[in-house]
Amino acid sequence: MSRPEVRIKDLHKSFGDNHVLRGIDLEIAQGEVVCVIGPSGSGKSTLLRCVNLLEEPGAGKVFVGGCEVTDPDVDIDAVRRRIGMVFQQFNLFPHLSVTGNLTLPQRRVLRRGKAESARIAAEHLARVGLSEKADAFPAALSGGQQQRVAIARALAMGPEVMLFDEPTSALDPELVGEVLAVMRMLADEGMTMMVVTHEMTFAREVADRVVFMDGGVIVEEGRPEQVVTAPRHERTRHFLSRLLDPAMAEVEPERPQGAGGDGPSPKRPPDPGLPDR
Amino acid sequence: MADTDMPVQPRRTGLTIRQRRRLSRGAQYVVFVAVVALVAVTADWGRLQNQFAQPDIARQLFPDIITVALKNTVLYTLSGFVVGLVLGMVVALMRLSSVGPYRWLASVYIEIFRGLPALLIFIFVGTGVPLAFPSVQYPGGIYGKVAVALGLVSAAYMAETIRAGIQAVPKGQTEAARSLGFSPARTMVSIVLPQAFRIILPPLTNELVLLFKDSSLVLFLGVTLEQRELAKFGNDLASTTANSTPILVAGLCYLLVTIPLSLVVRRMESRARREIR
């Protein structure tokens, strides 16, 4: 492994009484693709959002590219320029055209000129295969196209790391492929990526490492073929079996209060056809 | 009922639901026409025309009622609207501030100025403020005074409207902007406010209509002949001609502006509804 691009040390985070992250240690090397999987409520999205400080951790440290993100005196806007983020709900700016979505951040944040930002925007739109939609508005695009624009918007800022927060969970099933293809291309180009996902095929084929989280801790991590195909922990096995074959899940009888802290009710993986708007 | 073979029996009245609905509708029409006819028959149209619709007197009003009165009404309204919008924006941002005293001050302002009749605020601005600060002159004379008075009133309402608009912009928009490296202020100006204003354009236009009518309160500030607006103009000429025709014409001039504005609002609202999908 070369020097770590992302380093997370003993990270804790609570929402009120809800202790979401209970001491996370994780390093991501330059050019590495790490997929974070786990049941909903396991803290994986919160962990991702702590990396660019969209969530303020309660304790612990996060370094990105050697710079401490959690330092109270850090210029967080400067750090965030180096971290691209892609959201489940795309979050394109609806009042701007596709090109506007790509150029406005470059111009306002990086102070690039009009011509330069337009050129870079066109370059990245071409990379995600959406050059012909340059003048369209987000509302006119399919979910898959919106997500590809969102990826292009993040890439246009020239990030060192890309964070993906369930990028395909809000998509209709037939649109998932086009987004994963763009992500695979990025991985092949050597982008450092941290991906929270339920796409096991993507994790198995693209990730260098898979991290399984449950109950706010990392339960196990390793090569994807090892974690996904031959998990060592019972919790991982249980999660994967439900994810790969949701129809096989059984109604678990309710247990009396206080028994088994980590026994979540049987939850289906998020239905990809159901954007929670 | 024992006879279950005939489930849709007519009720005791012997009428079907459709017939009863028709009867009720017919009764409403009869009452409506009767009331209109009663008013039309009992009113003394001759005297009314004599007092309110004298073509000769109406003709005397032109062109001054347009070039002076309507022009002043529009000027007062617009200047008040601009002051109200700027002040309302400041108050709205204060209400949403993370600084406690700002929020507190903004709430107090809104409650006071929404709770007071506009007339009292006009009197306060016209006489109270010059008494308290003798050295301070309103810029633009009467226009400045009106702008301040109308602005103070409308700012309280607009602040609430603007705040609601800002809060209606999804949180993901702020998160996307911040994760791209936008500062909080930049995020507000470039991403949140443009979307918020699109949402609140109809209620803001409604506020403009309200201000247009409230501008009639200028007559309590004491104005010269050249500074009269529609209501004062109509009232003055009604007393000099000893006839109410100027009141009617002034009223029509108000409607000349407010009805098109209302139509614009209605169109904006229906378009916004369509865009929500």
- Report yes or no: B218 at the A interface, CB cutoff 8 Å: no
Task: Judge: B180–A87 Cβ closer than 8 Å, yes or no.
Answer: no
Mean pLDDT of A10-19: 93
Letter for the amino acid at B130? Answer: P
Task: Judge: A54–B178 Cβ closer than 8 Å, yes or no.
Answer: yes
Task: Judge: A91–B180 Cβ closer than 8 Å, yes or no.
Answer: no
8 Å CB contact between B142 and B223: yes
Residue tagged 């180096």 (tokens) = A82
Task: Judge: B179–A83 Cβ closer than 8 Å, yes or no.
Answer: yes
Task: Provide CB contacts within 8 A for A211, sequence distance 6+.
Answer: A26, A34, A35, A36, A37, A218, A220, A221, A227
Residue A218: what pLDDT?
Answer: 95
8 Å CB contact between B234 and B136: no
Q: Which chain A residue lies closest to B193 (C-alpha atoms)?
A: A95
Do A2 and A75 lie in a common domain?
yes
> What is the Cα–Cα distance from B181 to B218, expressed in whole angstroms?
48
Do A189 and A213 lie in a common domain?
yes
Do A35 and A124 lie in a common domain?
no
Task: Judge: A109–B181 Cβ closer than 8 Å, yes or no.
Answer: yes
> What is the Cα–Cα distance from B88 to B110, expressed in whole angstroms?
9
Mutation choice for B interface testing from A109, A117, A120 by most B CBs within 10 A:
A109
CATH number of the domain within which A78 lies: 3.40.50.300
Residues in chain A within 8 Å Cβ distance of B275? 139
Distance from the B183 Cα atom to the nearest Cα atom in chain A, whole angstroms: 6
Pairing of strands A4-15, A18-29: antiparallel
Residue B64: what pLDDT?
Answer: 87
Do A232 and A105 lie in a common domain?
no
> What is the Cα–Cα distance from B106 to B46, expressed in whole angstroms?
54
Cα torsion for B180, B185, B190, B191, to the nearest 10°?
Answer: 70
8 Å CB contact between A86 and A166: no
Do A149 and A183 lie in a common domain?
no
Do A170 and A60 lie in a common domain?
yes
Task: Judge: A153–B175 Cβ closer than 8 Å, yes or no.
Answer: no
Per the structure, the count of domains in chain A is 2
User: Of the given ranges (A130-134, A184-188, B64-68), which has the lowest mean pLDDT?
Assistant: B64-68
A238 pLDDT exceeds 80? Answer: yes
Nearest C-alpha neighbor of A209 from the set A190, A234, A191, A228: A228
Task: Judge: B175–A87 Cβ closer than 8 Å, yes or no.
Answer: yes
Position A178 confidence tier, pLDDT thresholds 50, 70, 90: very high
Assess if residue A209 is contained within a domain. Answer: yes
A60 conformational bin, left if phi > 0, alpha if psi -120 to 50, beta if neither = left
- Count the neighbouring beta carbons within 10 Å of the beta carbon of residue B267: 11
Q: Which chain B residue lies closest to A103 (C-alpha atoms)?
A: B180
A267 pLDDT exceeds 50? Answer: no
> What is the Cα–Cα distance from A223 to A243, expressed in whole angstroms?
19
Q: For the segment A137-152, what is each residue's pLDDT rounded down to a tens digit?
A: 999 999 999 999 999 9
Residues in chain A within 8 Å Cβ distance of B183? 77
Q: Which chain A residue lies closest to B199 (C-alpha atoms)?
A: A95
Token pair for residue B61?
């009003």
- Report yes or no: B197 at the A interface, CB cutoff 8 Å: no
8 Å CB contact between A135 and A98: yes
**Inter-chain Cβ pairs, chain A and chain B, closer than 8 A:** 60
Residues in chain B within 8 Å Cβ distance of A52? 179
Assess if residue A265 is contained within a domain. Answer: no
Residue B140: what pLDDT?
Answer: 79
Residue A98: what pLDDT?
Answer: 96
In this prediction the ipTM stands at: 0.86
Q: Across chain A, which distance is largest between two alpha carbons, in Å? A: 65
Task: Judge: B183–A77 Cβ closer than 8 Å, yes or no.
Answer: yes
Residue A243: what pLDDT?
Answer: 84
Residue A13's DSSP bridge partners are A21
* Boundaries of domain holding A35: 1-82+161-247
Task: Judge: B182–A139 Cβ closer than 8 Å, yes or no.
Answer: no
Do A146 and A178 lie in a common domain?
no
CATH topology for the B65-276 domain? MetI-like fold (1.10.3720)
Assess if residue A267 is contained within a domain. Answer: no
Task: Judge: B181–A80 Cβ closer than 8 Å, yes or no.
Answer: yes
Task: Provide CB contacts within 8 A for B80, sequence distance 6+.
Answer: B146, B147, B149, B150, B151, B153, B154, B211, B214, B215
Assess if residue A261 is contained within a domain. Answer: no
Q: For the segment A47-90, what is each residue's pLDDT rounded down to a tens digit?
A: 999 999 999 999 999 999 989 999 999 999 999 999 999 999 99
Do A199 and A138 lie in a common domain?
no
A159 pLDDT exceeds 60? Answer: yes
For residue B246, the SS3 value is helix
CA distances from A161 to A27, A64, A86, B175, B236 (A): 13, 8, 11, 17, 73
Distance from the A96 Cα atom to the nearest Cα atom in chain B, whole angstroms: 9
Token pair for residue A243?
């994810």
A247 pLDDT exceeds 60? Answer: yes
Q: Which of residues 216-255 of A touch B (CB under 8 A)?
A: none
Q: Which chain B residue lies closest to A81 (C-alpha atoms)?
A: B181
- Percentage of chain A exceeding pLDDT 70: 91
- Report yes or no: A111 at the B interface, CB cutoff 8 Å: no
Closest by Cβ to B190, choosing from A78, A108, A154:
A108
Task: Provide CB contacts within 8 A for A182, sequence distance 6+.
Answer: A127, A128, A129, A148, A151
- Local mean pLDDT, 10-residue blocks, chain B (277 residues): 55 81 95 95 89 86 88 93 96 94 96 92 87 84 88 94 96 96 95 93 91 89 85 90 90 92 87 64
Token pair for residue B92?
């709205």
Pairing of strands A18-29, A67-68: unpaired
Do A125 and A171 lie in a common domain?
no
Task: Provide CB contacts within 8 A for B275, sequence distance 6+.
Answer: A139
Residues in chain A within 8 Å Cβ distance of B194? 95
Q: CB-based burial of residue B204 (10 Å sphere; 0-12 exposed, 13-18 middle, 19+ buried)?
A: buried
Mutation choice for A interface testing from B180, B186, B188, B197 by most A CBs within 10 A:
B180
Residue B277: what pLDDT?
Answer: 40
Strand extents, DSSP E, chain A: 4-15, 18-29, 33-37, 59-64, 67-68, 83-86, 161-165, 192-196, 209-214, 217-222
Residue B1: what pLDDT?
Answer: 47
Residues in chain B within 8 Å Cβ distance of A94? 195
8 Å CB contact between B237 and B50: no
Cα torsion for A107, A113, A116, A120, to the nearest 10°?
Answer: 0
Task: Provide CB contacts within 8 A for B42, sequence distance 6+.
Answer: none
Distance from the B161 Cα atom to the nearest Cα atom in chain A, whole angstroms: 20
Cα torsion for A196, A170, A200, A150, to the nearest 10°?
Answer: -60
Task: Provide CB contacts within 8 A for A242, sequence distance 6+.
Answer: A248, A249, A266, A268, A269
Do A75 and A102 lie in a common domain?
no
Assess if residue A266 is contained within a domain. Answer: no
Per-residue b/e over B206-218, b at no fewer than 16 CB within 10 Å?
Answer: bbbbbbbbbbbbb
Mean pLDDT of A204-208: 93
> What is the Cα–Cα distance from B256 to B74, expressed in whole angstroms?
12
Position A260 confidence tier, pLDDT thresholds 50, 70, 90: very low
Do A196 and A75 lie in a common domain?
yes
Mean pLDDT of A192-203: 94
Do A132 and A40 lie in a common domain?
no
Closest by Cβ to B172, choosing from A83, A91, A153:
A91
Assess if residue A193 is contained within a domain. Answer: yes
Token pair for residue A247?
């129809």
Task: Judge: A109–B173 Cβ closer than 8 Å, yes or no.
Answer: no
Residue A152: what pLDDT?
Answer: 97
Handedness of CA B261, B155, B270, A144 (dihedral sign): positive
